[in-house]
A = this chain, B = another copy of it.
Amino acid sequence: MPTPVATPMRRESPVVPVQETQAPCCVPSHGQESLLAGEAEALAARFKALADPNRLRILSIVSSSPDAETCVCDLSEPLNLGQPTVSHHLKIMVEAGLLTREKRGVWAYYSLVPGALDSLAATLSPKASR
C-alpha cells in the first residue's frame, strides 16, 4: 500500500480565521483513532466470511440441522453448487472461526463455533450483547 505522498485536499489549520459562515466542519477532533487499522482488518476478515449469500445459507443450514452439524454432501444439493465450491466456502468459514470441522470416517461434519456469531454481533451493537 503506497503511502500517498501528498493527499491533495486537506487543509491543515485555517490560516485565515474561519469566517463563521456555518459549522466549521472538518475539525478532526479525534485525538485517537477509534478503531485501529489492525483491528479493522481483523474484523473485516470475519465479516468477509459472512459477505456471501451461499455462505450465509450454509450457516443457516448448519445451525438448523438436527444436531447442528452437517456434512458436505448435505449442502451441495440444496445450494446448487459443486462439491469443490462447497468445500471452499466451508474452509473460508473455518478459517474465519465460524465453523469447526470434525472428520468421522469418510465424512466431514461441520458445526457452529459456539459464541462466534454472538461475539461478532456484539461488535456491531455492544449494548445488545448481554
Question: Could you list which residues of chain A lie within 8 angstroms of chain B, going by C-beta atoms?
Answer: 3-4, 7-11, 21-23, 25-30, 33-35, 37, 40-41, 43-44, 47-48, 50-57, 60-61, 63-66, 71, 73-74, 76-78, 80, 82-83, 104-105, 107, 117-118, 120-122, 124-125, 128-130
Chain B residue with the shortest CB-CB distance to A85: B4
Q: How far is the CB of A30 from chain B (nearest CB, A)?
A: 6
Query: Which residues from B are CB-within-8-Å of A78?
Result: 28, 30, 33
Q: How far is the CB of A4 from chain B (nearest CB, A)?
A: 7
Question: Can you give 30 A-B contacts (C-beta < 8 A)?
Answer: A7-B76, A8-B82, A9-B83, A10-B73, A22-B104, A23-B107, A25-B71, A25-B107, A27-B74, A28-B74, A28-B77, A28-B78, A29-B66, A30-B65, A33-B60, A34-B63, A35-B61, A40-B53, A43-B56, A44-B51, A44-B53, A44-B56, A47-B47, A47-B56, A118-B128, A121-B121, A121-B125, A124-B124, A128-B128, A130-B130
